[in-house]
Each structure stands twice: as structure tokens, then as C-alpha cells.
Chains A and B, each alone.
Chain A
């Protein structure tokens, strides 16, 4: 447990190594991780949400939308980064490209399932009230789909934090992974301290997005969900929302 004490001391000193060279502080690296990750998530959201929502709205392309999610899950981050490195050389562009490749599938899949799965009776009712296709999408389908769409973004964001850190193993510098990939300078206590920070960062991102998701979920839907949980009536199958 001595190692953990040392690791927390390293965190308390914000990543300063006594007698070592001047290295970037932990808080700086954490912010860099978030910055690199946020760019990747933002690009992915811009690509995937419209695509998934549209496919769900027209109820087409289920095979592609669902299997895209499975393929995305199958891609090992390090392998994607390695191949990107071989073809283009490792830099911010390749890291962002890898983040987008890994983050797009879960967002598309969830957005598709979210909109596709909106109760057809509600859509019929909306049409019966005279709403146009766009109005149905904007006022009925999208609000009801928000929780699941957000679940996809949350999954992607946690994935992105992890991959940004792994990028340091591939030789990219500018994330908390730099410390983990450089035991020579930081010693094991530093590596361990950085690992604790990476874990905390991922949990914080997950927590923050969960709160945001809750605040964006329509109140009526929250009440319905609560009834579902109480009544043990299933809700969305686990295999769908997963990962």
C-alpha cells in the first residue's frame, strides 16, 4: 500500500517529481486530455446524431446502424492508433481521427434505436393532430429519444477519455497517458497517480453526462421510467443500450 501513499503524494504535488526535470503538471495534462477528447466527441456528435436520428425517423438502415455499433466495439484503440500511425504518422489529426472512428458507432446506433423505438402510437397521434414529418421529429420523436441518444454520447465520451490516454502509449503527447507511458521520469508512484487521475476523470465525465442527460429528459418520460422500474416491466432490452 506504500505505493498508493506515494501515488497520492504525487497527485497532491500536482505531478511534480522531486529532483526530476520540469514536466507538465497533472492538472495541465488532465485539461489537455479533456480538450483532445472534447474535440473528438464534438466531431462525432455532429456526424452521428443527425445520421442516426434520420435513419431512425425513416425506419431504414437498421442493419447498418446496429452492426456499425458492433464493429465499433470490436476495434481495439491501440490497433487503430497503430495503423493510423503507420499510414499517416501520429499527430493530433490521427488521434482525433481514431477518436471519431471509435466514437461514431455507439452514437449512431443509440440515436437510431432511440428514434426508431419511439412508440408508433405516439407518432400516429402526432400525425393525426396534423403535424408534418419535421414537426413529428422535432416535437415528439427527438424529445422522447433524448435519454438514449445521450446514453450513446456518454458511452462514446468515456471511450474517448480512455483512447486519448492510450494515444500516449502510441507516442502522442498531450494527455494524462504521458505519465503512464513514461515511467523512467515519473517512477511507478507517478504512473499509479496518473492511473488514479485517469480513472477519476472517466468517472467524472460519466457522472457529469448522466446528470446532464437527466436534466434534458422530459419530465413525463422520467415518470414513465420510474413506473417501469417499480413494475419491473423491462423497458429497453439491455443488449441494446449496452456499451
Chain B
């Protein structure tokens, strides 16, 4: 939706604060980053995190419902897989525009697109986790008189946890990456400063700072989820060790 601003000559009008580093568009100007962290980079980073968290949270709820349904009624698996795979295959840039037409240029089209990318990953992993529970364990649960719901909550879901967290990890990282192009339909996230810097020369410092933040955020989230995975499933580590 948004256009590349006519690529002007070099460098933004950062008025009074411009130093020769910015004016000459050197590779990286720390001073600019320090001055623009508060007004530019931090808000974009915060919006980026929020976009991703909301999408993964909603996606998780939907995928969990779909996976539980498919776990009980096996016939649902194939159609769900086909639909979510198709959604997953459509490139982000295309899906955002396709949703912008009926939904509009707003947070809804952005989130619908992001959520749709989480579904395949989460659905597949949750279902694989539920199915990985050994038949003997299920027999034992039934033998102790657990109802179907009790078995699900106390046996199947806890045992599926490693696969579920592994799915969350992939989903979070994927969505953080995709959220950089949300800006084409909705003016939020780290794509905004990247886009602006591209239109201004390009302004290298801002490209590196905003692009670097997007990459750092994804790697950090990935690392945090690995730690969470380890904490939630101490038995997996014990077995491996």
C-alpha cells in the first residue's frame, strides 16, 4: 500500500541534531541511534512485539481447538492441514494485500494474516504431541478410572508439552520475521523505520539499526523459548543426559 517515497538524494532532515556522520550517510552513526531510540526505534520495537504476541496468542487458541477436534475426530485432520498449508504457502506480502481489500488497512487485516501463518505450525505440532502419547499410558489412565477429559488434561497435554512448545518456538520466530512487512498495510512495527530509511537515500544507520533489532528480537525470542522448553520439561533433559 505504502509507496517508496521518491528516493531523494542523501539524507534525512534530522534538523538540528544532524552531524556530519548522518549528513554524509556513514555506515553507522551511534549518535543518531542514541537520539532516536526513544522517538523512533523503541516505539517500533514495542509495536512489533505486541503484533507478534497477539498473533501467536490468538493463533494458539485456534490451533489448540482445531488440534483437539482433529485428535478426537481424525477425519478433520486432512481438511485442516490442506487449508492451513495453503495459507502458510501464500507469501506474506501477498496475503496482507489480499486481506486489505475486504478488511481494510488496519490492525485486523494485519493480525488475521499473522494468525493464519501460525495455524499450520501450531496445529501440526500440537496434534503430533497428542498422538505421541504411548498407548500403554492411555490404557493405564483408563484403568485408573480417568474420564476422557481427565486423561486429556492430566496425561495427554502434559506429555505433549515438548512438541507444543517446539511449535510455539517456530511460530513466534516466524511471526516476528513476518511482522516486519506489516507496515505495507498497517503503519506499525520495525518495518516502519526500515521503510522510511529505504526512502531516504537509503539512510544506512537506520537500516542497520532497525533491521538489526528485528533479527535480534527473533533470535532472543528463540533463545527464551528454548529455555522455557527446558524448564517445562525437565524429564526430557534427564533422559537425554
Contacts and interface: CB of A to CB of B under 8 A. Distances in A.
Given A82-B198, A162-B92, A243-B121, A237 B128 contact: yes
A200 to B, nearest CB: 9
Given A85-B207, A202-B89, A202-B90, A74 B194 contact: no
Contacts of A3: 101
B98 interface: yes
A206 interface: yes
Contacts of A75: 177, 215, 218
A165 B91 contact: yes
B97 A71 contact: no
Nearest to A1: B102
B178 A195 contact: no
B190 interface: yes
B89 A203 contact: yes
B176 A199 contact: no
A73 B124 contact: no
B168 to A, nearest CB: 11
Contacts of A114: none
B86 to A, nearest CB: 7
B115 interface: no
Chain B interface SS verdict (over half):
helix
A184 B98 contact: no
B59 interface: no
A47 interface: no
Interface stretch (A117-125, A134-142, A166-174, A215-223): A166-174
Contacts of A234: 128, 131-132
Interface in A48-71: 70-71
Given A203-B86, A237-B163, 13 more contacts: A1-B102, A71-B222, A75-B215, A83-B215, A86-B205, A158-B89, A161-B91, A162-B93, A165-B94, A166-B92, A184-B3, A234-B132, A239-B125
Interface of B: 1-4, 7, 27, 74, 86, 89-98, 101-102, 121, 124-125, 127-128, 131-132, 163, 166-167, 169-170, 173-174, 176-181, 184, 190-191, 194-195, 197-198, 202, 204-205, 207-208, 210-212, 214-215, 218-219, 221-222
Interface of A: 1, 3-4, 7, 70-71, 73-80, 82-83, 85-87, 90, 158, 161-162, 165-166, 169-171, 177, 180-184, 188, 191-192, 194-196, 198-199, 202-203, 206, 232, 234, 237-239, 242-243
